[in-house]
Amino acid sequence: MNLDREPAAIARSAAEEIRALNHRTLGTHAFEEPSQIYNTINEVKQAVWGMPQAIEQSWCELRTMRDAGNIRMDNDTDVAEGAEKARQELNDARQLLAQAGQALDRATQTLSHMGGQW
């Protein structure tokens, strides 16, 4: 894990890997047996479960910047209103990601019992 990179660079790498996964699994018979699907979805689940924390920590940094008066809006809107709107939208995203993580967890519980034919 390289923590010397900027947060946006780390997020970009994660997005690129998801894009690669999407291309790799697009109608290509990427999997030979159900256990490979389980392993893939389990890793996706781990990524989804980590996203709410990254979003929350990013919001905390934004709040600190707001409280210190280090934000300006380039569209002449109020900083406090902009920050509140961002907080609400980020919170919605966190909640939806938590729901997605729970659904993926339930899916992996079922997938874990699947195997290929002998």
The DSSP code sequence of 28-92 is S---SSHHHHHHHHHHHHHHHHHHHHHHHHHHHHHHHHHHTT----TTS--HHHHHHHHHHHHHH
- Band the pLDDT of 18: cuts 50, 70, 90: very high
Structure tokens at 69: 């008066």
pLDDT tens digit sequence for 107-118: 999 999 998 887
pLDDT tens digit sequence for 22-58: 999 998 799 999 999 999 999 999 999 999 999 999 9
d(CA 116, CA 35): 8
pTM of the model: 0.87
**Burial class, 41, CB count within 10 angstroms (exposed 0-12 / middle 13-18 / buried 19+):** middle
Q: What is residue 15's predicted lDDT score, i.e. its pLDDT?
A: 97
> Domain-by-domain residue ranges, the chain?
49-62+80-113
